[in-house]
Amino acid sequence: MATRLRDRMIAEMQLRGLKEETKKQYLDDMEKFLKFYGNRLPTKLSVEDIKAYQLYLIKEKELAPNSVNKELSGIKFFYRYVLGRHWYADALPRMKAKRTLPAVLSEEEVAAMIDSVHKVMWKAVIMTLYSSGIRHRELRSLKVRDIDSKRMCIHIRNGKGGVDRQAILSPITLACLRTYWRLCRVNNPVKSDWLFIPTKNSHGGELKKKFSHTAIGYILRKAGKLAGIKKKSTRTSYVTPSLSI
């Protein structure tokens, strides 16, 4: 995308207060779309061109309906707010996705996941997620100061919809977090305000990136496998399983 149009898109996203992750996704959506057409100017592409790209995502890449809709989000934003062609976005059909109820883990299953792992950090991640019910993105964004041991709560900043809120901090989760801090962070040469930090991608004590969503997914899948849980979903729900540290 031409630098001028890219800058305008970034400005429009900033004006609307979009999150950094959303900004990056929307820019990636446009880059992939324009690459599909040999980096032609977006002003030269029509609604039919976008529909042809949508069919490519469906037939050739075999993306699921939700994934197709997600890939088109940045394109719709660009034509609606950057070029002012709102009719482009209105003319693009949104794919209907089959709604299925998520598989929610029971208290016993969560306890089995926690007991099945031996890494203190993994226990702390699982315990924090399931005892407080916070989202994966919210856990990744937690900072040390967000753990309020006096009020026994976790401060969630800029949560869903950009709203701040509080989650319950159970005594056993606090004990687990303190163990994690003592064993994994006190003598760690990498210093950071983030509560959970990656074990790799750091150099000379400088943190290159924060804890990733793929890392959380790996921990949950591994713990679920070790615990013998066959449910594909590891959606968070509020439980207070027992834990031995």
DSSP state string for 120-144? HHHHHHHHHHHHH---HHHHHT-BG
pLDDT tens-digit profile of 3-58?
Answer: 999 999 999 999 999 988 899 999 999 999 999 999 999 999 999 999 999 999 99
Residue from 162, 158, 146, 139 nearest 217 by CA: 139
Give φ, ψ of 123 to 5 degrees.
-60, -45
Domain ranges across the chain: 3-91, 107-226
- CA end-to-end span of the chain, whole Å? 53
Give φ, ψ of 21 to 5 degrees.
-65, -40
Per-residue pLDDT band for 124 (boundaries 50, 70, 90) equals very high
pLDDT for the residue 242? 47
Architecture per CATH, 107-226: Orthogonal Bundle (1.10)
pLDDT tens-digit profile of 198-217?
Answer: 876 555 566 667 788 888 98
Domain 3-91 has CATH 3.40.50.2300: no
